[in-house]
Amino acid sequence: MAGNNFIIVQHMAWEGPGRHLVTALKENGVSYQIVEAWHEPLPPVAAFDGMIVLGGSPNVDEEEQFPYLRPLKERIREVIATGRAYLGFCLGHQLLAHVLGLTVGPLPRKSVGFIEGMLTDKGMAHPVFQGLPVRFTMFKWHGQGIKSSLPPGQDILATSAAGVEALGLNGNPRVVGLQFDNHAGAQDVQQWLEHDREWALSGTEVIPEDLIAAAKSQEESMGLEFRRLMRNFLHI
């Protein structure tokens, strides 16, 4: 198993690690420290074995508005360079892509709610996705994504109609970015909707009651699949 001391980087007071993520970490005996990056300094890279970066409202290029993005990007570079584990969700995925030199920007339309995604050939071969179905449900909450092709050494691991859903490094399975937020349980989805309702509903066809109902119906199956993914990741 990877080292059992992780930091979880949080961007918003109301968007912490979701129910399925917390459960998976406990099941695998992983200790973690949550860092509220907008007002807390990041610990030095030597202080942890792996980094999990959650989603949030900032865009990767908004360093003037969110100055903490600069040291966070530098820490992500250090994590990769030192061979530590990195897992990014949503904004965490986009920050990984940005650090790797990819273009991240607005998508033609927001991706909010539950959609079907699928693993690529590279994804099916990747150890993080072993034992998971080729096609699976993704929970989405974002308006930006990867907009450039990937150079040699970087792999698209999953896709959907919305674009690139998972990013990996050839030869380094300890670094993964996931554009989807399957770590969130139904209660998390309801909380996100309460705090980010205006953004989520603007320009989308999302019906709040239907979204919450879908989250409840997906709770068990998505939790099982996500915990398998995390078990794979933590045992690489």
- Helix or strand run (H / E) with residue 118: strand 104-119
What's the average model confidence in pLDDT over 19-32? 97
What is the domain count for the chain?
A: 1
Q: pLDDT for 141-173, tens place per residue?
A: 999 999 999 999 999 999 999 999 999 999 999
**Above 90 in pLDDT, residue 96?**
yes
How large a percentage of the chain has pLDDT more than 90? Answer: 98
Rounded CA-CA distance 110/90 in Å is 13
What helix, strand, coil percent values describe the chain, rounded to 5? 35, 30, 35
Tell me the C-alpha to C-alpha distance, in Å, between residue 193 and each of 33, 206, 207, 220, 227. 25, 11, 11, 20, 23
Rounded CA-CA distance 147/219 in Å is 31
What's the average model confidence in pLDDT over 68-79? 98
pTM greater than the 0.75 cutoff = yes
Tell me the C-alpha to C-alpha distance, in Å, between residue 225 and each of 42, 60, 150, 197, 229. 30, 29, 27, 27, 6
- Could you tell me the residue range of the domain that residue 100 belongs to? 5-235
* pLDDT value for 2: 58
Structure token pair of residue 79: 């994590």
Rounded CA-CA distance 179/105 in Å is 13
Q: How many CA atoms lie within 13 A of 97 on its CB side?
A: 29
Q: pLDDT for 196-218, tens place per residue?
A: 999 999 999 999 999 999 999 99
**Above 90 in pLDDT, residue 103?**
yes
Tell how far CA 106 is from the center of its chain: 17
Average predicted confidence (pLDDT) for the chain: 97
Residue 131 sits in a domain whose CATH number is 3.40.50.880
The confidence band for 1, taking pLDDT boundaries of 50, 70 and 90, is: low
Q: Is 202 helix (H, G, I), strand (E, B) or coil?
A: coil
Structure token pair of residue 140: 């989405």
Structure token pair of residue 26: 């406990």
Q: Which residues contact 210 (CB under 8 A, 6 or more apart)?
A: none
Rounded CA-CA distance 101/162 in Å is 21
**Above 70 in pLDDT, residue 3?**
no
Task: Label the pairing between strands 50-53 and 31-36.
Answer: unpaired
Q: Do residues 34 and 81 touch, judged by C-beta distance below 8 A?
A: no
What's the average model confidence in pLDDT over 172-188? 98
What's the average model confidence in pLDDT over 105-120? 97
**Above 90 in pLDDT, residue 114?**
yes
